[in-house]
Structure 1
Amino acid sequence: MTGRGTALLGRPPHPGGGRVPRPAPPGIRALPGGLLRSARPRQWVKNALVLAAPAAAGELDSLHNAARLAVVFLLFTTAAAAVYLLNDARDAEADRAHPVKCRRPVAAGEVPVPLAYAASALLAAAAVAGAAALCNPLTGALLTAYLSTQIAYCVWLKHVLVVDLAVVTTGFLMRAMIGGVALDIPLSRWFLITTGFGALFMVAAKRYSEAVQMAGGGGATRALLNEYTTGYLRFVWQLAAGVAVLAYCLWALENDAADAGALLPWRQLSMIAFILAVLRYAVFADRGTAGEPEDVVLRDRALAVIGLVWAAMYGLAVAGL
């Protein structure tokens, strides 16, 4: 059977030709480490977005708020881990044909697929139960909505053109919203627009990088990438970057009255750092090397410095100094 025929049957061809070899049965000792790596510890940094709304509102100065946000961070991390395990279990066969994703624990055989499904269900149930017991009803509803949309994404929506981008973007937006919802903080419309289009910028840049790598022979497991063109994905991340910058500037200028007693207009000055951060990230997006956003953010020193400068400026604005 040809490689194409094999792919149609749901078994992607091995990069070297022929069928993808199934991994050997895992050892008991490898399971805990495999499950932990399937939970994507490096991507937990994304859940720091739960601090975004409280930080923007200057509500991080009490122990009670910090404790509640720590709980929300833990619950969101648990929910995200459940989604990662479900995704890896469903994509195990396809991941084995990918030069990088084949090393994921489920694809590599360190974690059996049935165990990944069971762990995913257990973590999802724990996240929902924890939210119901420890948070206000709206926080629990938002976390449940996140799980529902992400599960629908893993099962179906990841194969729907454009909707896949919207669902992943919504996941980031929900992270940013839930901190404010947990502390009953009103969410600014500019905050939501900036966060939403900033997330779309990073999501589209990630897809663009994957499409570039696929065109270069790197392989890809997202079948929908074949439906996108690199030109279209470039258009999306450029459009999203522009809207995010515009929304942030309007947000900063709208609050100029709050900076009346400050030494300098820090909120307005933070626009410079924000724009520089977007431009710096766009360098990696344009090269097609923004496939792992957390790696770009954590490993690029210039971007890290710009981010710290932005945080310092915005912190001074919130403090009114």
Structure 2
Amino acid sequence: MTAPDPPPSPGRIRWRALVHAARPHHWVKNLLVFLPLIAAHRWDAPAPWVRAALVFAAFCLCSSAAYLANDLADLHDDRAHPQKRLRPLASGAVRPPLAIAVALTLLAAALLLAGRIGALVPVAGYAAAALAYSLWVKPWPLVDLFWLVGLYLLRIIAGGAATGIIISDLLLVLAGMVFASLACVKRAAELGEVATGTLPAPQRRGYRVEDRALLIAAGLASAFAVPVVLLLYLREDAAAQLYPRPGWVLVAGVVLLSWLLRLWLLAGRGRLRLDPVVFALRDRISLVSLLALAGCVLAASL
């Protein structure tokens, strides 16, 4: 018989918990910095992609620092939450002084990298906005939604600034509608669990159970605006050059709308218990929808 593996050392456990607290699985959101390059069909020059990759790295460092700051601000409430109490900081696996030191180190590295590639303003703006969200904005209903959408749009703006691409206003509107719907569905799902007694009422949120109807209306309106914005985009001269077969762009809009509606369906049934973006990475139908969306955009470009 072979001897069992020895248990991991406390130091190793601490570093694992620290990595988990930094939430690298949320780095996928920072891929938005590549959206201006993709939308502009800049496939021929490698230099802009390298710059966008460096901006992506800066945002990963910055967003991890922001998540640590957020967990520090929510420490008391997370300890009373049946699920969030398992987070590294709330459970005691990571001590607050260590989290503060790591967050400051990550932030300094992000700003240093952003400064070297000419993206200091958007990255620093994101850091300030994310910190303000965690400390002050989160308890303000509706304001927090617009603030979160702005954090997503800052990633796109940073990608355009680093690569020298002028971003279409309608691209920002489209992204804003998508992420507004995602922000609403996350809060509506949480309030649904509060209504059924599955979760306690959030302490640092300004929403009540009776606000769920408003969130549903706003989120669905944002979702249905997606194909409308795409239709407006197809009327631009630049769209005719980039997409010779525009019908496929509208099909892509329907695919995106269908995916958003499915999230709302799952939220209404109490089956959406993760961040919608993280859920999409683990959900087979969401991944198929992403492939279908990419296929439609490719077909429109040929």
> Who is 2:6 aligned against?
none
Segment drifting more, 72-81 vs 170-179: 170-179
Pick one of 179, 190, 209 that aligns with 2:189: 209
- Corresponding letter in the other structure for 1:237: G
- Establish whether residue 241 from structure 1 lines up as the match of residue 257 from structure 2: no
> Who is 1:189 aligned against?
169
Is the CA contact 1:82–1:120 (under 8 Å) kept in the aligned structure 2?
yes
> Who is 1:307 aligned against?
290
Pick one of 128, 149, 162 that aligns with 1:148: 128
State the shift of 1:283 in Å.
Answer: 2.1
- Corresponding letter in the other structure for 2:126: Y
Pick one of 267, 274, 287 that aligns with 2:249: 267
**Number of residue pairs the alignment of both structures matches:** 290
Q: 2: distance between equivalents of 1:163 and 1:49?
A: 22
- Establish whether residue 32 from structure 1 lines up as the match of residue 43 from structure 2: no
Find the residue that maps to 1:223 and give its secondary structure: coil
> Who is 2:3 aligned against?
none
Find the residue that maps to 1:28 and give its secondary structure: helix
Instruction: Report the CA distance shift for 1:83/1:261 in structure 2 as closer, same or farther (over 3 A).
Output: closer
> Who is 1:298 aligned against?
281
Q: Deviations over 1:134-165 (max 9, x none)?
A: x12xx210111111111111111112222111
> Who is 2:180 aligned against?
200
Q: 2: distance between equivalents of 1:77 and 1:45?
A: 9
In structure 2, the gaps of 5 or more residues are 1-8
Pick one of 24, 28, 40 that aligns with 1:57: 40
- Corresponding letter in the other structure for 1:273: V
Is the CA contact 2:227–2:250 (under 8 Å) kept in the aligned structure 1?
no
Is the CA contact 2:180–2:222 (under 8 Å) kept in the aligned structure 1?
yes
> Who is 1:282 aligned against?
264
In structure 1, the gaps of 5 or more residues are 1-25
Segment drifting more, 191-200 vs 301-310: 301-310
Q: Deviations over 1:100-128 (max 9, x none)?
A: 11110011111101211221112112111
> Who is 2:63 aligned against?
80
State the shift of 1:171 in Å.
Answer: 0.9
- Establish whether residue 223 from structure 1 lines up as the match of residue 204 from structure 2: yes
Instruction: Report the CA distance shift for 1:271/1:89 in structure 2 as closer, same or farther (over 3 A).
Output: closer
State the shift of 1:253 in Å.
Answer: 4.3
- Establish whether residue 90 from structure 1 lines up as the match of residue 70 from structure 2: no
State the shift of 1:302 in Å.
Answer: 2.1
Find the residue that maps to 1:155 and give its secondary structure: helix
- Corresponding letter in the other structure for 1:191: L
Q: Deviations over 1:67-103 (max 9, x none)?
A: 2121111110100000000111121121111111111
Find the residue that maps to 1:219 and give its secondary structure: coil
Instruction: Report the CA distance shift for 1:88/1:296 in structure 2 as closer, same or farther (over 3 A).
Output: same
Q: Deviations over 1:189-244 (max 9, x none)?
A: 11010001111110111011111112222225453254461112112211221223
Is the CA contact 1:259–1:265 (under 8 Å) kept in the aligned structure 2?
no
> Who is 1:101 aligned against?
84
Task: Give the RMSD, CA atoms, in angstroms.
Answer: 2.2
Instruction: Report the CA distance shift for 1:194/1:213 in structure 2 as closer, same or farther (over 3 A).
Output: same
Q: 2: distance between equivalents of 1:65 and 1:154?
A: 32
Percent identity for Structure 1 against Structure 2: 31
Find the residue that maps to 2:11 and give its secondary structure: coil
- Corresponding letter in the other structure for 1:193: V
State the shift of 1:252 in Å.
Answer: 3.3
Find the residue that maps to 1:224 and give its secondary structure: coil
Is the CA contact 2:223–2:257 (under 8 Å) kept in the aligned structure 1?
no
Is the CA contact 2:138–2:206 (under 8 Å) kept in the aligned structure 1?
no
Is the CA contact 1:79–1:123 (under 8 Å) kept in the aligned structure 2?
yes
- Corresponding letter in the other structure for 1:163: V
Segment drifting more, 112-121 vs 72-81: 112-121
Q: 2: distance between equivalents of 1:256 and 1:57?
A: 10
